[in-house]
Amino acid sequence: MRVISFQRKDGSHGVGAMTDDSHFVDANKQDAAVPGMLRELLARPEGLAQLQKAVQGKPADGALNEVTLLPLIPDPHALWALALNFRTHIEETGLVTSRDYPQIFLRTAASQVAHMAPLKAPPFEIG
């Protein structure tokens, strides 16, 4: 199940599951009890099961060009990332890591973007 978070044209948020590369089932349309924010859904003990039940076997009722994709969890408490998780990155930095004590770091919510959203970068002059 490829899960998405999105914003409808009316400003409301939704959670859905992709049926192909451009269409999805809007879980909230299928079951009004499914919350519009994935974090709220995941906080429920049976949240993923509720989502799966709402979308399983249903035909697509939305298209990506009708909504704005959001980061999967637009309002996270924290984003933890694994550092040095590519051999080439380890080689280029000269840093070390291990399976027993991996290096992790914290990112802010502002550092994530939705699928196909532009990445913001500082002006080139700052370089």
pLDDT of residue 40: 94
Q: Is the pLDDT of residue 44 over 70?
A: yes
64 vs 99: which has the higher pLDDT: 64
Please report the pLDDT score of residue 1 as a whole number: 94
> How high is the mean pLDDT of the chain?
92
Half-sphere exposure of 48 (CA within 13 A, CB side): 3
pLDDT tens figures, 32-42: 999 999 999 99
Determine the Cα–Cα distance for residues 73 and 125; give it in Å rounded to an integer.
33
Instruction: Give start and end residues of each alpha helix (H) in the chain.
Output: 27-30, 38-42, 47-55, 87-93
Q: What pLDDT score does 26 carry?
A: 98
Whole-prediction pTM value?
A: 0.78
Instruction: Assess whether pLDDT exceeds 70 at residue 90.
Output: yes
Task: Read off the pLDDT of residues 56-89 as tens digits, 9 standing for 90 and up.
Answer: 999 999 999 999 999 999 888 888 888 888 889 8
Who wins on pLDDT, 110 or 93? 93
The pLDDT value recorded for residue 43 is 94
Q: Is pLDDT of 127 > 70?
A: no
| Contact (Cβ atoms closer than 8 angstroms) between residue 55 and residue 16 | yes
Residue 126 pLDDT: 78
